[in-house]
Every structure is written in C-alpha cells, then in structure tokens.
Amino acid sequence: MQELVKLWKEFEASQADKNGESSSNGPTLEIRIPAEHVTATNRQVRGGQLWGTDIYTDDSDLVAVLMHTGYCRPTASPPPPAIHELRATIRVLPPQDCYTSEQRNNVRSRAWGAGSGCSYRVERCCIVKKGGGTIDLEPCLTHSSTVEPTLAPVAVERTMTTRAAASNALRQQRFVREVTIQYNLCNEPWIKYSISIVADKGLKKPLYTSARLKKGEVLYLETHSCRYELCFTGEKMVKAVAGSQSHDSDTDKSQNHHSNSANGEKNEGDNAMIDVFRWSRCKKPLAQKVMRSVGIPLPLEHVEVIEENLDWEDVQWSQTGVWIAGKEYTLARVHFLSLN
C-alpha cells in the first residue's frame, strides 16, 4: 500500500504529458493478501486503520477496508485452510476533499479532512484456493450495523477512536469480535443463529436435527422481534413410490442428511409413514421456567400455528435463517429445549 502514492504520481505525470491535465480516475492494482492476515486480530484491523467510506485514504489498511465493504467478515477466527490468499483489485484515485465515517458490517471507519497523496477504492476481490481456482466475492455496501443485545459489553465490542489515538490501539485492545451468545426476547442467554447449530452433525441418525426433535427436544428460533417454535407432532401415511423409482429415490436420499430415513420412515406395502413437524409463532415470548411449567411443545393457546404436517424436506436451512414451506424467516437466535 506504500506504493500507491508513487503509482498515482507516475500516472498523474503521464496523463499531464498526454493531455495537458491529469485524470481523475487512476490505474488499477492487484494486491495479494495471505490468508493468515485476513482476521479481525490483525494489528491494523484491531487498531481501526481505515479512513473514509467507499473511497479510502492511501494509508488505510486493505484488510480493514475489505471487512468494512463486506467482502469478508470481521471475525477472530482464521480463514479455512483451503484458502491460500485473497486477491483484491483496487482503483487508485486522487485525494478527496474529505473522508466520511460510517459503520458497516460491524466495522467503523474514521473521518478525515482533505487528504494528500491519493485515495483508492476496491473494485474486485476473490478467494484463491490452495488447490487452484478462484471464487469471486461480493461486497455488502448498504448494511449499517445496529447495536444488538449480547453478553459482551457494547463498549468493548465497538469503539470509535480518533486518528491521533491510533498509536494507543494496541494498548486499548478494543476491536470488533464475533459474538456467539445473545440475550433472547426474555433477556436470557441463547446461542446466536448459525447454520452449523441446526445442520446435521454426521451420518449417525441420532445426531440429525429431525431425530433430536423427535426425541423430545423442541427448537425455538427468534428474529429480532418474534419467537417461533419447530416441533415434532407425529407421523402421517404417504403413498410410497413404486418400483425402481422408489429404489433410486431411496439411494439418493441415503446420501442426504435431511433424508426421510432420519425421520423414521417406515414402508408398509404401498404406503409409508413419515415424521411430520409443526411451525408456529409464539404469541408471547415466555421465560424458560414458564415454558417448562406450561409444557413443551407449548399448548395451542400459547402459539399461532403457521404450518403443520410439515415433511422435514419442507424445512430448509440457510446461512441467514430458515425457509418453511417456501417462506423465508431471517433468524437471530436459536435454542433447543426439552422437558427432560
């Protein structure tokens, strides 16, 4: 990044020689970042070394800028071992009259007055895998993080410092951290939603999410304003697929962790018994102690049934939430609960 000013001045001089005036849009430069540096514990990221929004000062740290623009997440965990490096293409630009501050993707940039030297913006970023090949990443430029309830104090999670305080960043040790526990709507600690919490853990049937629900656990999921309940309600008879088609279907499903076999499917002649589930909205979020006293799953007077007699295939998990019968619910928290 130290070569940016030199590159800009060379480009500016070449444009002046050709046209009599310098261009306002400079050359592009590809920068390679080793995977081990793409983490929120990176010293420059931790110190908040970025000034501007969309267009940044030439001394802004590129990893911090990539997190601010949403190309990669600001987590303390290192990237997966299969990733070799990130390749970012940046456009060198003239100095700006001012650089604005904005919070995006749990990273806050800083404001600064008129710059000297040059500026830059990120135009492209991709992952380079160790085995070869690339994966293009998409930015997230519109998201402004809101303060959400967590177990960690907000003052520790998010801080604003002036440029003059950058030298004290290592001493302060305050930086954005990945939070895995949040308070639910009743102010109780629940797990932050992620697909790994609800995804099947392996090939053993007792580990399947559907099997856990059948054994008496009920899955409660929350958005930032509502609580939902997903529970096992029994079995239903469906018409079995006949002949070789049934054999092929069973072969395919045996490779899928969400197969009907996980739900205890039993063939009886031309029919089969499959597990069914209910998706409901809790009319009022209740504390765990109250929920245990009224019964798990909650009685019908406490819930509004949205979908019932759901096949497990109607429940599709994603990185941000769950699709139930074709409708998406964006989730914030998750909790398994049973009477045992």
The pLDDT assigned to 244 comes to: 39
CB 282 within 8 A of CB 309: no
CB 193 within 8 A of CB 221: yes
Residues 140 and 91 in one domain: yes
- Residue 40 clears pLDDT 80, i.e. is over it: no
Of residues 147 and 80, the one with the higher pLDDT is 80
Q: How many whole angstroms separate alpha carbon 241 and alpha carbon 256?
A: 18
Q: Which of 142, 13, 35 is nearest to 79 (CA)?
A: 35
Residue 181 lies in a domain: no
Number of structural domains found in the chain = 2
Q: How many whole angstroms separate alpha carbon 116 and alpha carbon 114?
A: 7
Q: Which of 262, 215, 273, 214 is nearest to 240 (CA)?
A: 273
The pLDDT assigned to 220 comes to: 95
Q: Is the pTM of this model over 0.85?
A: no
Of residues 271 and 133, the one with the higher pLDDT is 133
Residue 178 lies in a domain: no
Residue 262 lies in a domain: yes
Residue 138 lies in a domain: yes
Give me the mean pLDDT over the 151-175 stretch. Answer: 44
Confidence band for 212, pLDDT divided at 50, 70 and 90: confident
Residues 153 and 291 in one domain: no
Q: What digits encode the pLDDT tens for the residues 12-23?
A: 788 766 654 445
- Residue 91 clears pLDDT 50, i.e. is over it: yes
Give me the mean pLDDT over the 77-90 stretch. Answer: 85
**Measured in whole angstroms, how far is the alpha carbon of residue 61 from the centre of its chain?**
22
The pLDDT assigned to 150 comes to: 33
Strand partners, 273: 237, 266
The pLDDT assigned to 263 comes to: 47
- Selection from 28-42, 203-217, 219-233 with the highest mean pLDDT: 219-233
Residues 199 and 91 in one domain: no
Question: 17-31, 192-206, 274-288, 298-312: lowest mean pLDDT where?
Answer: 17-31
In the predicted model, what is the mean pLDDT of the chain? Answer: 77
279-317 burial, b at 16+ Cβ within 10 Å, e below that, comes to bbebeebbeeeebeeeebbbeeebbeebbeebbbeebeb
- Residue 197 clears pLDDT 90, i.e. is over it: no
Rounded-to-10 torsion of CA 222, 223, 229, 231: -90
Confidence band for 278, pLDDT divided at 50, 70 and 90: very high
Select from 138, 172, 206 the last residue of a domain.
172
Residues 243 and 150 in one domain: no
- Residue 164 clears pLDDT 90, i.e. is over it: no
The pLDDT assigned to 176 comes to: 41
Residues 206 and 153 in one domain: no
Strands of the chain, DSSP E: 28-34, 52-53, 55-57, 83-93, 103-104, 107-108, 119-129, 134-136, 181-183, 189-192, 218-222, 227-239, 266-268, 271-282, 303-310, 315-317, 321-324, 327-330, 333-337
Confidence band for 228, pLDDT divided at 50, 70 and 90: very high
Confidence band for 159, pLDDT divided at 50, 70 and 90: very low
- How buried is residue 144: exposed, middle or buried, by Cβ count under 10 Å (0-12/13-18/19+)? exposed
Domain that holds residue 310: 189-337
The pLDDT assigned to 2 comes to: 64
Residues 211 and 299 in one domain: yes
Q: How many whole angstroms separate alpha carbon 92 and alpha carbon 30?
A: 11
Q: How many whole angstroms separate alpha carbon 58 and alpha carbon 121?
A: 10
Select from 127, 143, 172 the last residue of a domain.
172
Helix intervals (H) in the chain: 4-19, 43-46, 62-68, 154-157, 169-172, 195-198, 209-214, 243-254, 288-294
Residue 301 lies in a domain: yes
Confidence band for 5, pLDDT divided at 50, 70 and 90: confident
The pLDDT assigned to 134 comes to: 87
Residue 184 lies in a domain: no
The pLDDT assigned to 181 comes to: 83
CB 183 within 8 A of CB 189: yes
Residue 179 lies in a domain: no
Q: CB under 8 Å to 252, separation ≥6 — which residues? A: none
Q: Which of 151, 164, 209, 1 is nearest to 90 (CA)?
A: 1
Q: How many whole angstroms separate alpha carbon 305 and alpha carbon 293?
A: 20
Residue 177 lies in a domain: no
SS3 131: coil
The pLDDT assigned to 268 comes to: 52
Phi-psi group of 196: left, alpha or beta (phi > 0 → left; psi -120 to 50 → alpha; rest → beta)? alpha
The pLDDT assigned to 256 comes to: 43
- Residue 246 clears pLDDT 70, i.e. is over it: no
- Residue 205 clears pLDDT 50, i.e. is over it: yes
Give me the mean pLDDT over the 5-10 stretch. Answer: 81
